[in-house]
Structure 1
Amino acid sequence: MSEAMLRLSGVEKIYNRGQTSEVRVLNGVDLTLARGEMVALVAPSGAGKSTLLHIAGLLDTPDAGRVEIGGEDMTGLTDRRRTMVRRQEVGFVYQFHHLLPEFSALENIVLPQLANGVARRDAVARAQALLEQVGVGARAGHRPSAMSGGEQQRVAFCRALANGPRVLLADEPTGNLDPGTSDQVFAALTGLVRGTGLSALIATHNLDLAARMDRILRLDQGQVVPG
């Protein structure tokens, strides 16, 4: 079996409501994502997909269980170390692109690299190469407001991969697009994932897109089961 790039073991997350009741969102989640694997995570709204992705990407901490990235246990890391691992090892894509509106497409991809200590010349070259790979190289100098929704999301994909992460986490990355654009954007995302060999966990309501991935997992009553 390929090396596990992301592993969740017995992960639990509980939210309190008032003083007497609690909501157990994740109830002993076990999940393994192999190197180079593209996995769909399917569940209804409110089932805990976003919570799971936030814990997997070190944006949130579980109440129990452990998270491993690249074989390293993330449990108990300092906030500074978690931030460093997240910046270097994990890429995030959301339903809405969240690009910085005052910067061009190229600059949106350059900035996270500069924050990670990459020289500007190298950062620009990588940003342009990523944009070319998803078919929007000619839009490098455009601000988000001058781009279509599909183009904006492709730029967001490039930004997520700017620092060469080993794990990509995507939360409904095509959920805000029409079906035709969704297919094109998903094809661009697949090309990036396959071209770089990173591991991707993609939450989606779109069963057609899910069927194109290596595996489908379903979040059911706080646990991950085969789809």
Structure 2
Amino acid sequence: MNDAKSPNTVLNLTGITKVYNKGAQSEVQVLDGASLHVAAGEVVALVAPSGAGKSTLLHIAGLLDTPDSGTVQIGGEDMTARSDRRRTLTRRSEVGFIYQFHHLLPEFSALENIVLPQLANGVSRRDAQTRALDLLTRVGIAPRARHRPAALSGGEQQRVAFCRALANTPRLLLADEPTGNLDPATSDQVFAALMELVRDTGLAAVIATHNPDLAARMDRTVRLENGRLVAETPAPA
């Protein structure tokens, strides 16, 4: 499932390094040769202590940031040295992001929040609305489609964020603590909805979490320590 040479590999990170300057003469090595390969249909849990660099790794994987060295391949294409425009187009069409906080646009309805990224990607409004309603139906909140975020519960807001991330049918989903802002019961329900969406679409997913119970429900776990992904373990049977 994690063979970099497999034709099913969607994300291939090889030897990723990243150093940040922390003052005039101080540097912080956040990533130090991190490598990760994720196949289509595979859900990988990314675990790490706070400040270990998991958000940086996700940003590099999603083409929001660039590594100091190493390569980032999405769907077999090396994106590391591509132009900003090419990286933006790939990110828009191939990658979906979910964050701990939903970041929905407050002035638009749930439906509109899912329609807008599709319009930006050239999809007709009619087709965009059809897909948005289909996604909302899958996560069980289609009756809330016309409500604005302020009228939705925290769990409903995050489900809308999941739908928005999948609106443009990406090949890769990156999630940074997607249920970390929810109470345990809601977190469990929302995570189940996310996993169902991921399984239905067959995309590759990397989900950062501090929750060992959620990590155990994924296909395997990778741990980021000292800038490297030093351990890969399958989820318990």
TM-score (norm 1): 0.99
Alignment of 1:97-176 (within 5 A): 97-176=102-181
Q: Deviations over 1:40-61 (max 9, x none)?
A: 0000110001000000000000
Matches of 2:80 and 2:218 in 1, distance apart? 29
**2: CA distance, partners of 1:91 / 1:165:** 6
Runs of 5+ consecutive residues of structure 1 not aligned to the other structure: none
Instruction: Letter of the 2:77 partner, please give it.
Output: E
Q: Cα offset for 1:66?
A: 0.4
Separation of aligned partners in 2, 1:4 and 1:120: 32
Point out where structure 2 has 5 or more consecutive residues left out of the alignment: none
Partner of 2:13: 8
- Is residue 186 of structure 1 aligned with residue 172 of structure 2? no
Pair 1:60 & 2:65 matched? yes
How far apart in 2 are the matches of 1:45 and 1:19? 24
The aligned amino acid for 1:88 is S
Match of 1:91 in 2: 96
Residue 150 of structure 1, CA deviation:
0.2
C-alpha deviation, 1:19, in angstroms: 2.4
1:20 is displaced (CA, Å) by 1.7
RMSD: 0.7
- Residue 19 (structure 1) aligned to one of 24, 28, 37: 24
Q: How many residues align?
A: 227
Specify which of 217, 223, 226 is matched with residue 218 of structure 1. Answer: 223
The Cα shift of 1:75 comes to 1.3
Structure 1 counterpart of 2:40, from 25, 35, 41: 35
The separation in 2 between residues aligned to 1:200 and 1:28, in whole angstroms, is: 21
Moved over 2 A (4+): none
